[in-house]
Amino acid sequence: AQSVTQPDIHITVSEGASLELRCNYSYGATPYLFWYVQSPGQGLQLLLKYFSGDTLVQGIKGFEAEFKRSQSSFNLRKPSVHWSDAAEYFCAVGSYNTDKLIFGTGTRLQVFP
Amino acid sequence: EPEVTQTPSHQVTQMGQEVILRCVPISNHLYFYWYRQILGQKVEFLVSFYNNEISEKSEIFDDQFSVERPDGSNFTLKIRSTKLEDSAMYFCASSVRQGGLGFEQYFGPGTRLTVT
């Protein structure tokens, strides 16, 4: 079955520390992969996307993610977290043969000063 | 920067009533979507719409739901007879195309539907 797993429900980091949010997927077709961020009371903002090619993709707000096919993973990273990064982060997967995105359960990021 | 807008931001309705949720997708986008997120659960796909017809729908999207693009800008989701379990945040999204570059979906801020 197609699914996305975000193993970490809640992560707390100090401002300035590095961050890695994990995402694993199970998908039969070639995946398209996305990370979205949701701030309280806001919609889902697209951080970055992977369709093909270079497996390290850069996104907005200083985020990057690496696609590792052998591990079925698409982890999100940021070298230095800012207090404004506190939000919920969702990994999602889609493909060329479907309209829908399948979302993970999300990881809530808390940032301490 | 263009964005997807949704109205209302919060809708309270009584069980059995009809509701219409409205969305204005990004103007040059051709594919439109509705998703929902029940509190504490995953974001779930409901339906996609292209060229004035449903392109794909999930098992959640039963006969109680319908979508329409009544004019050149609005995209609506109608729930004919709401149930308590329809309480959720409903997100509209749009994309330039389906598949490949341009498939990335841009989401609106959501409408919180509360059924009492």
Paired residues of B56 in beta bridges: B48
Those residues whose C-beta lies under 8 Å from the C-beta of residue B92, and which sit 6 or more positions away, are B4, B6, B21, B23, B25, B32, B33, B34, B75, B77, B107, B108
Paired residues of B7 in beta bridges: B22
* pLDDT confidence band for B89 (50 / 70 / 90): very high
A103: distance to nearest CA of chain B, Å? 6
Residues of chain A with pLDDT under 70: none
Alpha-carbon gap, residue A75 to B68, rounded angstroms = 37
Nearest CB partner across the interface for A100, out of B48, B100, B108: B48
* pLDDT confidence band for B40 (50 / 70 / 90): confident
The candidate with the shortest Cα–Cα distance to B8, out of B116, B114, B115, B112, is B112
Mean pLDDT of B14-20: 98
pLDDT of the residue at B101: 64
pLDDT of the residue at A78: 98
Residue of A nearest to B48 (CA): A99
B16: distance to nearest CA of chain A, Å? 27
* pLDDT confidence band for B15 (50 / 70 / 90): very high
Residue of A nearest to B105 (CA): A46
Structure tokens, A7: 């193993």
Alpha-carbon gap, residue B92 to B4, rounded angstroms = 7
Q: Considering only CB atoms, which chain B residues are within 8 Å of A36?
A: 107
Q: Does the distance separating the beta carbons of A90 and B99 come in below 8 Å?
A: no
- Cβ count near B49 (within 10 Å): 23
pLDDT of the residue at B102: 67
Q: Does the distance separating the beta carbons of A102 and B99 come in below 8 Å?
A: no
List C-alpha distances in Å: B51 to B48, B69, B90, B100.
Answer: 10, 9, 22, 18
Nearest CB partner across the interface for A100, out of B6, B41, B58: B58
Using the Cβ of A104 and the Cβ atoms of chain B, whether some distance falls under 8 Å is answered with yes
Mean pLDDT of B35-53: 94
Nearest CB partner across the interface for B107, out of A44, A51, A102: A44
- Is residue B44 over pLDDT 90? yes
Positions of E strands within chain B: 5-7, 10-13, 19-24, 31-37, 43-50, 53-57, 65-68, 75-79, 88-95, 106-107, 111-115
CB B51 within 8 A of CB B113: no
Q: Considering only CB atoms, which chain B residues are within 8 Å of A45?
A: 107
* pLDDT confidence band for B54 (50 / 70 / 90): very high
Mean pLDDT of B30-36: 96
Structure tokens, B35: 């998703």
* pLDDT confidence band for B37 (50 / 70 / 90): very high
pLDDT of the residue at A97: 82
